[in-house]
Amino acid sequence: MKGLKTVFKHWLSLAGFLIFTTSFTISLFLFIVANVLGRGGLYMGLLTYIIGPATMASGMALLLIGLWVQRRRTKKGIEPPPPGVKILNLETPRQRRRLLLFTAAAALFVLISSLASFEAFHYTESVQFCGQLCHKIMEPEHVAYQHSSHARISCVECHVGAGADWFVRSKLSGLYQVYAALTKTYPTPIPTPIHNLRPARETCEHCHWPQKFYNHKMRFESYYLGDETNTRWDLQLVMRLGAEHSSRGQEKGIHWHINSDVRIEYISGEDKKNEIPWVRYTNIQTGESHVYRDEDIDFDERLVTEENIRVMDCIDCHNRPSHDYKSPNRIINDAFTSGEVSTDLPEFKLKAMELLTAEYESSTAAKKTIREGLVEFYVEDHPEFYAANAVLVEHAADLLVREFNRFFFPEMKVRWDTHNNQVGHMQFKGCARCHNNTHISDEGRRIGRDCNSCHVITAQGPYDGMETTSVMNPLVFRHPVDIDGAWQEVLCIECHEGSVY
């Protein structure tokens, strides 16, 4: 006890010792609860493997600082030196016991620190940590991720990937995110981290490698018009992902853009990359190169610098592989096609689009307005139908509220039109950012907008009277509503940008 009194004579050492022992005891208790009893939750890991060890380390630091301060005070004669032996003498049983005790305590501390570091690493790599710890902030990303095709892939496999260098980068960038969360200075919506996102060739291509040949793919789409009967219009396409034959690899088709023999580079003037005024094509094998500029966009050539040029990869088209926020149009089309909502509901698509495209202050207000608005519409405009089919209307209202919970987050200002999905070209520019007939090279070459380069139509029309053909003799697109060939002159998004059926 006399030794302990001497060691903890300074208040810093005493405080450090108390902090260390208290946090150690609590962390040990939480560890037993989580791993032996199998109890715990989201914040259990945070307390056990991050806050607990950090507090223990702080206590140990205070203890050592206190010892150092006390030693200096003794040297300066401010306090008399402590009595007893000042050197380590292993011939003395008492000194041997002290050394053994110190060594055991140090070994235990190192063991616990190593275990905590290992568990902390795995905890910070978990989906729970990424998506639920800052629940409100990351709720849109986490909820959409759970309903995506990548829901079984952890966040870090795409956002960090393998290797220590990107792990360190992610933790350093995470320091600012922690600060922003604590001070509530984060932006709404949270922007897509394009600037510091790891290249897709180092993440996506672990599963979707470009050397793999992708056959042509049959795709079926069902659309519903915003008329009284929710008229169905079907489309069957053959997507030309690769060449006609596997022996030709990626020399043709949509995935030609990631052909390892070709490099496509571009410059975009804004973060969402909806406008691409400058494109460069390079054939790596021959050295052939062409630069294309969009004649409809004023472009400053001084922007052609290495830091502004991006090499095209998977993410430039598949930019929402895990955090896709469905548009109202897709939600309703899918609900009709799956049978969850009956097409017998008169004018349902028109009214549902109106309710889902409105802007709301909060999720609570939105869900109340959507439910009451749909019921009120049928009570007032279709009273006889509602009287006979109230259950259908209530079920449809439930579906709209459910889909709103999945893809709309008013508090974070997130919905389909804040995060563009560049696959396709109907509701966002997508392919038409480059394939628009206005990108021209100095040699007069043009990036065309021939739809058949990427897909061909083999069937189209109303469900009970489709026009069909073979892949070798594709159909010319027919718009469900007669717009006198306007679809050949303007981009789809000029009418279909999310909010219009």
Tell me what pLDDT residue 424 has.
Answer: 85
Ordered alpha helix ranges (H), 76-162: 93-124, 127-132, 135-146, 155-159
Contacts of 418 (CB under 8 A, 6+ apart): 189, 325
- The SS3 call for residue 86 is coil
* Rounded Cα–Cα distance for residues 83 and 101 (Å): 21
Each residue of 352-405: pLDDT tens digit? 999 999 999 999 999 999 999 999 999 999 999 999 999 999 999 999 999 999
* Rounded Cα–Cα distance for residues 258 and 217 (Å): 18
pLDDT at 276 over 70: yes
- Mean pLDDT value across residues 49-65: 78
* Rounded Cα–Cα distance for residues 442 and 290 (Å): 8
Each residue of 305-338: pLDDT tens digit? 998 999 998 888 998 989 999 999 999 999 999 9
pLDDT category of residue 440 using cuts at 50, 70 and 90: very high
CA dihedral defined by 301, 307, 309, 310, rounded to 10 degrees? -160
Contacts of 405 (CB under 8 A, 6+ apart): 143, 363, 367
- Mean pLDDT value across residues 189-218: 81
pLDDT at 105 over 80: no
Contacts of 479 (CB under 8 A, 6+ apart): 487
Would you kindly state where each structural domain of the chain is located, as residue ranges? 2-124, 128-197, 217-321+421-496, 328-418
List Cβ<8 Å contacts ≥24 apart for 179-184.
Answer: 181/134, 181/137
Q: Is 231 left (phi over 0), alpha (psi -120 to 50) or beta?
A: beta
- Amino acid letter at 252? K
Residue 41 burial by CB count (10 A; 0-12/13-18/19+): exposed, middle or buried?
Answer: exposed
- Mean pLDDT value across residues 11-22: 79
